[in-house]
Every structure is written in C-alpha cells, then in structure tokens.
Structure 1
Amino acid sequence: MIHPHHSALDVVIAIDIGGTTVKGAAIDAAGTVISRQTASTFDAGRDAYASVVAVARRLVDEAAAHGFAAAGIGIASPGLVDPESGTVMFAANLGWDAFPLRRLLEAELQIAVSVGHDARTAAVAERAAQGAGASGTDTGSSYDTAYDNALIVPIGTGVSSAVVAGGVLIAGATGAAGELGHMQVIPNGALCSCGQRGCIEAYASGTTILDRYREHGGTIASSTQAIASTLDTDPIAARVWADAVNALSIGLAGLAAVLDPAVIVIGGGVSAAGDTLIGPLREAVAARLGWRSTPRIEQSALGAQGGLIGAAIIGWTDQVLDAGFARQTYLSLSSEPQGAADA
C-alpha cells in the first residue's frame, strides 16, 4: 500500500460523489489544488463507480505529471456509509447496495482510501473553516463554538445533513444519522426516489425543485438557480420554491426541537441562492418554533465545495493539517479553472 512517510510532493485525491456529478481534485498538504476533474456520475451509460475510477485515475496521472505522488484518496459519498469498512451500505441516487467502495478502489489503484458520508465529511470541512483543526478540535480562540452544536445541511441532487452534538459528529447506530432528505413531512405527498411519499428530498433538492417546476408547467427557468432568481415574476417558480422552503422548514424545526443546535448551516449547490433561500427559511423555521429561540440559520462558508474539501481532510489520514487548510483549499478551488469533464 502507500508509503508511511509523507514528502512535500504528496497530494491527496479528494472526490465528492453526487447524484449528478463526480467532482475531484488533487490537493497538497498546504491546501493548494494541483489539478481538478469533473465527470457526469452516469456519463454515457457508465455507472457511478466507473465515473469515480475515471476521475481518480486522471487525477493520479495529472499529479504524477506535475511531480506529485498520491498519498491517499478521500471520498465523500451520499447514502448510508460505514467509514470503518469504506462500504456504502445504500445510496438511492447511485444505485449502490452494500457496495465495497474502499476495497474495490484500493485494489484498482493501490492507494489508501478513506470513505466518509457526504454531509458528515462536509461538516468536518465547515468546522475546520470556522477555526477547528482538521480533527474537529478547537485550535484557538478564533473557533466559533456554535459549530459544536450544529446541523450542516448540504442540498444538491439530494438533501442530507450532519449532526454535531457536544463537538461530536453523530453517525448513529447504522451510520444513517442525518438522512434529513428522507424524513417524511408531507402526508401522501410527492413520490421520492427512495420509494416513500412526502420526503423532504422530493420537494427541496436541486433536482426535484427543477422537476416540480416543469411538472407544474414552468417554462421560463431552465435550472434551479434560474428558478431562484425569477420568484418575483414567475408564479410557478414562486410556488415550487415555497414548497421547498416549507418541506425543509418542517424537517429543520423538528430537528431543532430535538437536538437544540446553535446553528444550522445550509450548504451544497442550492445554497448559492443565498438570502433567497435563507431568508424565507429563517422565517418558516422561526414560525414553527414559536415556543423557543430559533437557532441561527446561515449560508455555508464553503458552498458546494464542502464535500470536496472534507474529502481532502479525511484523505490526509495521518497528516496534521494546519487550521487554515479548509479555507486555503476553498480559496484555491475558487480560483482554479474546472478540469475537463470528458472521460
């Protein structure tokens, strides 16, 4: 397997698997992006695993061309993830069932692999960006302790969440803690990809917001981002957006009532809507928590990059990273051009 002694020319391969795209980057220990790649998850009929392998191979090759060796691979995966074995027990959006991702990828590439749940991996990055060390521990007075009791909610192709309680990331008995997207909030509601009706994800993911807009006859907007920007002029967009906020607010108010978080962080691609999402969501959650104070609700500092940055952190399994690693990686990702998406 991988050599135990890191050199300055080591990188980790970070991969964030989404239901729509597989994003990857080769990142050094200082948080500098050496190379990046993106592929469609189900490109040209290829399955999700083949897309992960294709992105990983290209990144390893590109890193080598720049004189870097891959010291590890960190992966953020949706679904039920067992980080001990690196197995994805179930991922509806990927068609995976008891899928031994780490074992297969290590055999394929001969590089040590760490697999984490996408939202919990993003939570590691969010906390690091707030001043916690890569291990999640406080590294100084700058750390925002609200993140010790937090809900981190990435919204992309799916809706997920990570629960941080007393400074600990909660995985649950089967690794399924935080499956916010499959909380049923609308009785006999819209059909979800998991087979249930009325799930939050059936109303509030980037994919379902656009799907519902089209189902209701919407024609003006061609993306979820466009829907968010036409709420004042497009009544169908406004209705579908309100449904998404409503579904999310039911789930978040319920979790807030049970877990008492100090902060709820909205991340993932849909968080790019900013105040168009956060504003009405704050109001809706507050209205449902009339009996108590409302946790602060804010936009992620890392946006859609949280999963990828977290994957880099867990990929550096035995490297003590600087507290600024997450922020530096975010800056580097924000300034680097996207890699070619064809494979």
Structure 2
Amino acid sequence: MRHVIALDVGGTGMKAALVGAEGTAPSGGTPPSPSVLHEARRATGRERGPDAVVESILDFAADLRAYGERHLGEPAAAAGVAVPGIVDADQGVAAYSANLGWRDVPLRDLLSRRIGGAPVALGHDVRTGGLAEGRIGAGRGADRFLFVPLGTGIASAIGIGGRVEAGAHGFAGEIGHVVVRPGGLPCPCGQHGCLERYASAAAVSDAWVEASGDPEADAADCAKAVESGDPRARKVWQDAVDALADGLVTALTLLDPRTVIIGGGLAEAGDTLFTPLRAAVRRRVTFQQLPSVVPAALGDTAGCLGAGLLAWDLLDETADSPEVTP
C-alpha cells in the first residue's frame, strides 16, 4: 500500500505515523482526512545531546520504513518531518532549536539518505500543525485561517488557500512577539511587552503562581480557580485574555482570516477561555470582519498529520513537475 512517513519532533518526544493517501473527495467537497496506517512514539534522547537527537530521528525513520516494507508491502514513497525552532524549509535545514540544541542540521538530506533516497519535506512544527488543522481539522473548508497554539510560547500559522505561509525568511506567523503591552515585561527576543509574555500557558502559570502563592500552580490550576469563582484567578485570566485579544485583533486586521483556531494547552480550558476571548475580540473590532474563533480539533496529533500532508504534497508537486531532458 502506498504510504508516507510522518514525523513530529518535540522537545522530549517524537510522534510518528505511516500515512496513506487522502483518497478522492466528493465533487465540490473538501478532501477527506488521510488514513493513518501505523502509529508510534519514541523519546528524542535530548539528554544525550543534539547529535543524539538527530540520530534518534534518523533511526526512527529507518524503523518506520522497515515496518512499511514488512507490513504494507513497500517502503514509504516520501517522508514529512516537523521540527521546532527556526526552519529553512526550502533548503531542508533545521537552522536552530534552543530546546534540542542544534544548529544548521541538513535534516532533509540526512533523512532522505537514511530512508533509501525517498524525498523528504521539512516543516516548522507550528506551521505543520496549522496545515493539518486548516485542511482536515477545525479550519476545514476555510480559505483563510489563523492557527494559534498557546503553549510555552505563542506562534501562529497563516493559512491561505490550503497552504501555510512561511514568509520571505521563514518567520511568518510569529504573533507571540507582537508587542501588546509597550514597555512591559522583558522578552527573550529583546523586546518588552510581547504577547507570549502575557497570554501563553507559561505566562498564565507564572502569573498564577505569584497571585496564589503556590509554587506548584500552573495554568490548568488557574482555569479551575476561575471556574470556582476565585477573584485572583479571574484577574490573572482576564489579563491574559485581554492581551490575547489585542494580539489577535492586530493579526486579523492585517490578515483578515475567516477562522481563528486556538490550540495548545490553554485551549483545553474550553469555554472558560473561549467565552471571554470571543467577547474580548468582539469588543475590539471596529471596521474588521469578526472571524469565527474556534478550538483546535486535532490535539497533539496535528503536527504528525501535518507532516504526512507535507509528504503527500511533495509527491504531488513532484508528479506535476515537467520532466527535464538533459
């Protein structure tokens, strides 16, 4: 059975799948989800250093290729891999990752050689997850969407016509470094008052630790305290919601998305987040068209599914390219 390898590399763990073709969409309909034929997880081995992480990725891909040969009758036709940090997708280079400790890793070429020369697509983890959410998840059918996962930091994926925009230099979507509180908290990027210093899950955790006096508290605890009516938690939560709404309105003014998809750990609070967030965005818009603000649908599988979509897209592009006669 024809299939591709999909790999989603995180800070400590990797999620992988062998993904079959999407199939044929009904006339006028959106394409169906890709079929997941096999799933696996493995540690990155980060504690052994950046070279060990790269080797873990290559070994995992080789094992997946071997599984496909044994159980599906043929090796994978291509692979897609999503990694964190700064990614040069055109050159196939994982340029920098603070979490994994690597710089300028030619991951596309290394992976291709390890899996028998099959083509490899390399993508940024948030943009790859956004591709899946936009095409087969919460943004399915939307021609323009913005995917914003709220985790340790905040980034976004800008979806246009079924594709995700990388930008001229690979930095498109870095909404977490939009300044929403000028002169505010310092950010590692060098600015003060960045969105992710106020509205990420990490920022909410820090603010709730300070407000509650509990050094073990986190954002999930803050959400529970909000639901129980704790006024301290409500203030921490509303401050984060207001900052997030300011950042989102800046983004929708520039990009005019039809759908805004909120994911990451903070989105797990459900209506505790979405009810005040929708109200805060609505209060801020003037001439802008109000988008749908919806929770992500794919959870922690988005990156892996997106990597599979990258691989199938790569095969489609290769098939559509005219042959060059020397």
Residue 305 of structure 2 is matched in structure 1 by: 309
**Bigger Rg over Cα:** 2
TM-superposed CA distance for 1:14, in Å, is: 1.4
1:85-164 matches, within 5 Å, as 85-110=91-116, 111-129=118-136, 144=141, 147-164=142-159
Contact 1:129 1:301 in 2 (8 A): no
**TM-score when normalising by structure 2:** 0.77
TM-superposed CA distance for 1:25, in Å, is: 2.4
Residue 325 of structure 1 is matched in structure 2 by: none
| Alpha carbons of structure 1 residues 82 and 252: separation in structure 2 relative to 1, 3 Å | same
The reply on whether 1:213 has 2:219 as its aligned counterpart is no
Residue 36 of structure 2 is matched in structure 1 by: 32
TM-superposed CA distance for 1:228, in Å, is: 2.5
Match 1:289 to one of 285, 290, 294: 285
SS in 2 for 1:306: helix
TM-superposed CA distance for 1:201, in Å, is: 2.2
| Alpha carbons of structure 1 residues 216 and 230: separation in structure 2 relative to 1, 3 Å | closer
Residue 326 of structure 1 is matched in structure 2 by: none
Residue 47 of structure 2 is matched in structure 1 by: 44
Residue 201 of structure 1 is matched in structure 2 by: 196
Q: Distance in 2 between matches of 1:42 and 1:277?
A: 34
Q: Tell me whether 215-224 or 257-266 shows the greater mean CA deviation.
A: 215-224
Residue 261 of structure 1 is matched in structure 2 by: 257
Q: Distance in 2 between matches of 1:291 and 1:164?
A: 22
User: Which fold has the larger relative contact order, with Cα–Cα distance below 8 Å and residues 6 or more apart in sequence?
Assistant: 1
1:239-254 matches, within 5 Å, as 239-254=235-250
The reply on whether 1:318 has 2:315 as its aligned counterpart is yes
Q: Tell me whether 43-52 or 288-297 shows the greater mean CA deviation.
A: 43-52
Contact 2:9 2:82 in 1 (8 A): yes
In structure 1, give the amino acid aligned to 2:315: D
SS in 2 for 1:14: strand
5+ long unaligned stretches in structure 1? 1-7, 133-142, 321-343
SS in 2 for 1:231: helix
Residue 169 of structure 2 is matched in structure 1 by: 174
5+ long unaligned stretches in structure 2? 22-33, 318-326
TM-superposed CA distance for 1:256, in Å, is: 1.0
| Alpha carbons of structure 1 residues 252 and 21: separation in structure 2 relative to 1, 3 Å | farther
Q: Deviations over 1:177-201 (max 9, x none)?
A: 1111222222233343434432222
Structure 1 vs Structure 2: percent identity of aligned residues?
A: 39
SS in 1 for 2:7: strand
The reply on whether 1:76 has 2:82 as its aligned counterpart is yes
Contact 2:146 2:159 in 1 (8 A): yes
TM-superposed CA distance for 1:314, in Å, is: 1.0
Residue 138 of structure 1 is matched in structure 2 by: none
The reply on whether 1:186 has 2:181 as its aligned counterpart is yes
| Alpha carbons of structure 1 residues 319 and 149: separation in structure 2 relative to 1, 3 Å | closer
| Alpha carbons of structure 1 residues 96 and 198: separation in structure 2 relative to 1, 3 Å | farther
The reply on whether 1:15 has 2:7 as its aligned counterpart is yes
Q: Distance in 1 between matches of 2:55 and 2:151?
A: 21
Residue 224 of structure 2 is matched in structure 1 by: 229
How many aligned positions are there?
299
TM-superposed CA distance for 1:286, in Å, is: 1.7
SS in 2 for 1:248: helix
| Alpha carbons of structure 1 residues 50 and 112: separation in structure 2 relative to 1, 3 Å | same
Q: Distance in 2 between matches of 1:244 and 1:21?
A: 29
SS in 2 for 1:13: strand
SS in 1 for 2:297: coil
Q: Distance in 2 between matches of 1:245 and 1:55?
A: 40
Q: Distance in 1 between matches of 2:285 and 2:138?
A: 30
In structure 1, give the amino acid aligned to 2:47: A
Contact 2:256 2:289 in 1 (8 A): no
